Amino acid sequence: MVRVIDLECSAPTSAVKQWGDTTPARHPEGSGLTWMGQEPQQREGWGFDNYNEIFGTRREREDGAGPIQQTFEEFNAELEANGVEKAFMAHPNPITVAAVRERPDLYMGLARLSPFDGMLGVREFERLVREDGLCGLMIQPLEERLPASDRRYYPLYTKAAELGVPIRIYATMNYATDRPYDLGHPSHLDQVAGDFPETPIIAGLGGWPWINEMVALVRRHSNLYMDTAAHHPRYFATPGSGWEMLMQFGNTLIQDKVLAAFSPATLGESYAAMIEAYLDLPLKDAVKEKWLFGNAARLFEID
């Protein structure tokens, strides 16, 4: 059976409710830390609501058995049956920590902090790593409305370097119509990767539609990687999809720099179907193993 590490998955709704957090908050009430996505919507369908307009139908499988509808136990069983040895929860910190505590053998997580929290956020980041077992930092320029190169992130980056953990940074265009579409442009990672050359940095969501620039930057910086979250692998080899440069150099010069991320809740797809799509890509067999398992295993020191 193929071995898999998934850089982005989401717990089923039933599990999130079980753990008692149905709000988008990153932190418990009263902690003093910033909440995620709390800006008021100006009108229906505006801002983040536009994601549902564009992607909403993907999230419900026709057979009604998609990842959102499963129980936590059913979701775990699906991962294990398909060779997923580790999966990174993409949730606010309380949910990620709960999943890691429940199944530390299966789940890993990245801490989500806001640059607007200053040193309070830095101290919480360190606590989440040292006490709750999270293994890196997730930065969301889309939610913060600040590109990744903004100096206000630098205390968090510095703490990640001190702790010796990777940083994953949202790097793709966004569809929220109340903020700039290019907050996640890969060019913002050039400065960060240069300023923290010993810290592994992962460009989350792969940089689409700026794939040429993304691949060039991954080639330029030895500490810069990219993952494939929120994009179905069936399109990577489709002519005109914009992924041509990834397929060319991901099979050769940057084959050690690409990490598979499945985003099953976002795509409304099963692991079996997506793994099959990865295995069908016109990549060398050794490269498929690196994308699906080896590169992430090396980066996060997973046996």
User: Distance between CA atoms of 221 and 5, rounded to whole angstroms?
Assistant: 23
pLDDT at position 14, please? 83
pLDDT at position 215, please? 98
What's the predicted TM-score (pTM) here? 0.92
pLDDT at position 66, please? 53
- 161 by Cβ neighbours in 10 Å (0-12 / 13-18 / 19+) ranks as middle
pLDDT category at 63 given cuts 50, 70, 90 is very low
Averaged pLDDT, 83-98? 96
User: Per-residue pLDDT for 281 more than 60?
Assistant: yes
Q: For the chain, how are helix, strand and coil distributed in percent, rounded to 5?
A: 45, 10, 45
Q: What is the pLDDT of residues 228-270, one digit of tens each?
A: 999 999 999 999 999 999 999 999 999 999 999 999 988 889 9
CA proximity to 173, closest of 205, 143, 201: 205
More confident residue, 284 or 60: 284
pLDDT at position 268, please? 87
User: Distance between CA atoms of 47 and 293, rounded to whole angstroms?
Assistant: 35
**Range scoring the smallest mean pLDDT among 177-181, 215-219, 225-229, 263-267:** 263-267
pLDDT at position 22, please? 46
pLDDT category at 30 given cuts 50, 70, 90 is low
Cβ atoms of 274 and 78 closer than 8 Å: no
pLDDT at position 26, please? 55
How many domains would you assign to the chain? 1
Query: Among the residues of the chain, which ranges form H helices?
Result: 13-18, 49-55, 72-81, 93-102, 118-130, 141-144, 154-163, 187-195, 211-220, 244-249, 264-267, 271-279, 285-289, 295-299
Contacts of 261 (CB under 8 A, 6+ apart): 6, 7, 8, 88, 204, 205, 227, 228, 229, 230
- Domain of residue 292 covers 4-299
User: Residue length, the chain?
Assistant: 303
Cβ atoms of 277 and 242 closer than 8 Å: no
Averaged pLDDT, 143-156? 97
User: Distance between CA atoms of 16 and 238, rounded to whole angstroms?
Assistant: 36
Output the CA torsion 146→147→152→154 (10° steps): 150
Domain containing 190 — which CATH number? 3.20.20.140
